[in-house]
Each structure stands twice: as C-alpha cells, then as structure tokens.
Structure 1
Amino acid sequence: MDIDGIAKLAQTCFASNPVLVLGSGASAPHQLPGMDALKYHLMAVVAADGPEEETAWDQVRQAFEAGEHLEKALTGKVLPTRLTKKIVDETWRCINAADKAVFFRALCGTEVFPLATLLASLFRSSNKTVDIVTTNYDRIAEYACNSTDLLFSAGFIPGYIQLREGGDPVHFHRGGKQMRTVRIWKVHGSLDWFERADGSAISAPLFDLPDGPITPLIVTPGFNKFERTHDEPFRSAIQGADRSLENADAFLCVGFGFRDTHIEPKMLGRCRQKNLPVTVIARSLTDEALGFLRDKAGARYLGIEKSGTGSRVYVAEHPGGLFIADKDFWSMDGFIKLVT
C-alpha cells in the first residue's frame, strides 16, 4: 500500500464523523503525565499509615516494581478507605499541576492545541455534534474547544459552581440556529468534578483542593473503578459514551491504549455489527491496541505509530506494519495534514 492508499483510509474514517476516543497519549504533547509518570508519582508520595495500610500498599508497590502498569497493579487490590483517598488525592494533584500549567499557557495564547484544529475540521461539514469519549481526567479537550470557539458539554450546566446537566441537555442557539457542540464523555471523571459531604456532585474550575469535605470525583485506575461507576455523574457519562460508541460510524482513537475494560468491548460490539473505519494513532501503539486492530476491528482499520524519523502503518494487507520513511502520520498534527 502506498501513501495515497493510507491517506484514503484515513480520509474515509475522518469523513464519517468519527467518535473520538482519547487516551493519555492525546494529552502527552501538552506535558500531561501519562500512566507511567503517575505510577512513579504515587510510589514517591503516597505514605501508608498503620499496619493495614502498609500491608496493602506493599502489595501495590511490589506489583509496580515487578513492572506491571498502573491499571494492572491496582486491579483486584482491596485497599483501606483512607489509603484509597490518599491515592485519589495524589492522582488529582499530579494531573492537576500539569493541567494548571497548560491552562495558563492557553490563557496567554501561547499553547497550540492540535485537537482544536482536528475538531474545527470535523465541523467543516453538516455535523452538529462531535462526540469525544475519554478516560483522561485533564481538561485538554475543554481547552481545545475554547481555543477554537467551539461549545462543549461535559455533563454539567455552565457556571462557576456547576450542577449536573441531567437527562435534558443544555443547548445554545445563535441567530435562531442551534450551535455546534462537542460532547465530552469523561468516563473516569474530571479534575473539576467534586463530591460534597452530602453526596451531591458539582463541577468547579479549581486548581487547588479546598479544605473541607470536598472529594475529587475521579476513578483511579484499577481498584475502585467498577464500584464508583454506578454512581453519578459517572453513570450518566458512561451511558452517554455507550450511546456514542454503539451508534458510531467510525472510530478515531488518539493515544488510547485499549486497556480500559469498558470502552474496548463497546467498540468491539459496534465493529461486529458494522465494518466501519477504525483509526488508531499514537507515538507507540500498545500490544492491546495492535491486537484490537488485527483481530477485532474488521478490514478497514488503520494503525499508525512513530518509527524512527518516519511512521509505521498497520493495515489489513500489512498486519505486521509497513514503514513509511520521513513521514509523520502518527501525531495529531501529522494526521490532520494527511486528511485535510
């Protein structure tokens, strides 16, 4: 397959109004920590108190030291409540510090968001809505929308102290026409989601954890994922993500490792119903991503990763990969040039 054939596959996916699936690799260009960086942060700062916490945390540390990734290391571990809160709070602080830096660079107009260009390009059509499904806690997708004058909705009504949107979505109109909107389904929570002492969920643009009974609403990888996702606002976010994945005409995954045990099965179900275009771009494709493409995505898949100064491209005709010299197709900037 030549570059024209690769471009045709990519353009077919892009023209089908794909559901965007963003993993931690989509935020990495903005210096957001990935799962490995978060793992090392937790190892460095989480301090267990008392025998019960020490025993539980030692099990997690041993899994880390054995080379297990964050999700695997935490899965199946029964941790004391206070230790769980420490991990949640430190996860929030780790991601938030980098997110805050991005916000201030965006405020000064010095941060460039390739995702903004991608979204604007998707709206150069009759599309009224673009869906983003993401496991990321950060606000890169939100900042990208703001930087290109696009409205977004992430499950809460606008404001400084935001209440849940509920089952009746908020719509904006300009000149009598409904404005185009990016729907962001944050299935693991967000840096600006919090739980009050009474159990109610709010959203607020905070960059420091306040004193008092306010807890970050993020689902840390592994141990409490399924426990928390039955609660709001996670349940609504997951239901919205499910609807978008189940009705997708194409998938465009950016920096997504296919290690999430909820998103991947929904994508698989849709791929079995319809031979739709599936594109995955990343600096380095995980084994799980390559396995999904080769074994589950059907015949219209395209995987692209960095390879030296060029790209390695995976398609049905070349499941082992095809090296393309001196071409950056794997980054979001490079992919945009390929499809526009």
Structure 2
Amino acid sequence: MSDLSTYLRENLETEGDVEGDAWLLVKTALANGDHLEAALEGKTLPESLLTKIVSLTWRCVNDKDKQLLEAAAHNGDFALGRLLANMFSSTHSEIHVVTTNYDRVAEFACNSKNVLFQTGFAPGYIQTWESTGRVKLVHGTKSARVVKIWKIHGSLDWFRTTDDRSIGLPVFELPSKDQYTPLIVTPGLNKYEKTYEDPFRTTINGADAALKAASAFLCVGFGFRDQHIHPKLIERCRERNVPTVVLARTLTEEAKDFLKNKAGANYLGIELSGTGSRVYSPTYPEGTDVTTPDLWSLDGFNKFVL
C-alpha cells in the first residue's frame, strides 16, 4: 500500500480547484503518516478525482503484475503455488483464497502448478460473469479440484462496460476509458458503494461463506484493516478457536491486536526481526525472536512446514 501511496502522489494530476483541494487533504494526511486507507477514509472526493485514482491504481498494480506474468510463463516458482499444490495432496476438493488485492498473484500461482482456479468469470478472452457456483470444472468423470479465489475488491482484469455489463478481459494495458471502467474498489468513502452489485456482491457472499466454514486460517501480508474480512475472522475464531497463522514482513498494530486479543488460543504471528524472525503466540503474546531466517515469508514458512 505504501508503494501505491507514493505512486499516486507522484503521478496524480488534478484539474481545477475542486479536485486540487480534495487531493490536498489526502496528500496532507499521507504526509502526516496516515496509510492510504486512512488518508482516503471519510473524505468526499469528486467523481473525476476518483476516476483518476482508480486508473492510476490499476496502472501501478499492473506494472508489477506484468513482471509476475513473465515469471509464470518461464516456469517461475511461486510459493503460493507450491502451498496450494501440496494442500491438494489430501482429500480436499476445494481450497478457498480470499484476497483484497487486485493483482493476479493467486491466478499465476495456480498456473505455475497446473492447478485449476475460478474467480467467477467464465473462461475465454472476453469473459462473462457467471459466479463461481454456476460453472463446474470436470476432470475426466469426476469434479476437478479447484481453488476458488474470492477477490472482494475486484481484479485487474474485471471491467464495467458502457452498457453496464461486467466482463473479464485478461489484458495488461488499460482499455479505452470511454468504453471500460476498471472494477476495483479503492479505499475511501465510496469503498462499499460498489459492493452492492455483482460481481462484488456474489464474491463477498462467497468469501463470507468460506470464512464462516474455515477450519484454519493462513493470512499472508494482511494488515487487518479491512472492515469486511477482519470481523469474519474474529467471529470464526471465537466460535471454533480455529488455528490461525499470520505472516508479514512487519505485522501491523491491528494484526498484533487481533492475535493478542481476538484470535483465540491457537495462533502464530510471524514477522521479520533482524536476520531472523519474531514469533507471537499464546505463550509469547509480546513475541520472541528466533534465528530461523525468512520464517515470516510464505517461501520460508513453506520450507519449514511442507
């Protein structure tokens, strides 16, 4: 999110006093140390400025996404792909990935291990919205094992057309803004306005069902600032005390509060600490340092547990 904040500050150009004044409030909040979510929250921004924020957000995330595509096409190694493939070495027929990210990391990770996935759009170059329940994938005569990816804030390849259709376009250049609007939900006052219509409504409902039924949680790089996912995690942990692992380079204060006060008695939180890692648990709620390097990263965690 910090990279996106920097990108927006450096590239967004306002037009007129209304846009300029509104954007100045956001930039001031960022300069005072607010993260992007907090800087945009509660501010009424003009529609023209929101459109610019959405377009620049798309471009910022897409630039890095193209690099991931090249890695995937050249048999790149994805830690998430290895984890998902290993999880299917079991009786699991479905694995649920709930993400607030717009990028296609989960999709590329599945491709890297030939794992099938669904995001709610039918396969093809011009993809129609079908929801993840209507399209069934079959391998031979049996239902295929599938990763269901719930992208509750949208995706780089989701767009709204001028005739109000939701379509998927697997592109790496932003289509004409006169014909297509990226279907991504950016932080701010209007964050939840878009979620009352598909594809967001069905996606959020699917994510809710997955979180409510989960037997364990692995959270990677999640800041626990999203007011949709965060309460669902707390609710499930209170109901069943499910095992929960949170990995991050730096755990946010919100993540630490969740672990210490709301995750139950069966959790681990791991973050970078010097050349090793710092581990939080019910035994060490304030954390204890271990020498294991990269345990906080998904790649390092995989090496430890797989």
TM range (shorter): over 0.9
- Report the secondary structure of 2:285's partner residue: strand
Q: Does 1:239 align with 2:205?
A: yes
Distance (whole Å) between structure 2 residues aligned to residue 236 and residue 46 of structure 1: 32
- For residues 65-95 of structure 1, give each alpha carbon's deviation from its aligned partner in whole angstroms, at most 9, with x where no partner exists: 1110000000011011111000000000010
4+ aligned runs moved over 4 Å, structure 1: none
Match of 2:101 in 1: 136
CA RMSD in angstroms comes to 1.1
CA gap 1:125/1:81 in 2 versus in 1, 3 angstroms: same
Deviation of the 1:165 alpha carbon:
1.2
Q: How does 1:205-216 map to 2 (within 5 A)?
A: 205-211=170-176, 212-216=178-182
User: What letter matches 1:145 in structure 2?
Assistant: C
Instruction: State the distance in 2 between where 1:258 and 1:124 align.
Output: 30
**Contact 2:8–2:53 (CA under 8 A) maintained in structure 1:** yes
- The question of whether the paired residues in 1 share the 8 Å contact of 2:266 and 2:282 is answered with yes
Q: Which amino acid aligns with 1:66?
A: N
| Structure 1 Cα separation of the partners of residues 70 and 96 of structure 2 | 26
Which is worse superposed, 236-245 or 223-232? 223-232
Query: Residue 246 of structure 2 aligns with which residue?
Result: 280
Deviation for aligned residue 1:167: 6.9
Q: Which of residues 82, 87, 95 is equivalent to 2:48?
A: 82
Quick check: 1:169 aligned with 2:122? Answer: no
Q: Could you tell me how far 1:100 is from its partner in structure 2?
A: 1.1
Cross-structure match for 2:122: 157
Q: Is the 8 A contact 2:120 2:129 kept in 1?
A: yes
Which digits, 9 at most, give the CA deviation of each residue in 1:280-314, with x for residues without a partner?
01111111101000000000011111111111111
Corresponding residue of 1:11: none
Q: 2:268 aligns with which of 302, 305, 324?
A: 302
- CA distance, structure 1, for counterparts of residue 292 and residue 162 of structure 2: 55
Structure 2 spans left out of the alignment, 5+ residues: none
Determine the C-alpha separation between the residues in 2 that align with 1:113 and 1:167. Answer: 24
Q: Secondary structure at the match of 1:313?
A: strand
Of the three residues 285, 301, 304, the one matched with 1:335 is 301
Q: CA deviation at 1:175?
A: 2.2
Q: Residue 106 of structure 1: CA displacement?
A: 1.7
For 1:245, the aligned partner's letter is: L
Structure 2 residue aligned with 1:270: 236
User: Does structure 1 residue 196 correspond to structure 2 residue 186?
Assistant: no
1:182 equivalent among 132, 147, 153: 147
Read off the aligned partner of 2:252 and give its amino acid letter: T
SS in 2 for 1:225: coil
Q: Matched residue pairs, number? A: 305
State the shift of 1:105 in Å.
2.6
Aligned partner of 2:79: which letter? P
1:210 CA displacement: 1.8
Task: Pick one of 60, 75, 79 that aligns with 2:26.
Answer: 60
- Residue 278 (structure 2) pairs with residue 312 (structure 1): yes
Give the Cα separation in 1 of the matches to 2:289 and 2:78. 27
TM-score (norm 1): 0.88
Corresponding position of 2:190: 224
CA deviation profile, 1:225-261 (whole Å, cap 9, x unmatched): 1111112111111111000001111111011110111
Higher relative contact order (CA 8 A, sep 6+): 1
Relative to the length of structure 2, the TM-score reads: 0.97
1:123 aligns with 2:94: no
CA distance in 2, matches of 1:316, 1:222: 35
Q: Distance in 2 between matches of 1:183 and 1:167?
A: 7
Indicate conservation of the 8 Å contact 2:270/2:280, yes or no. Answer: yes
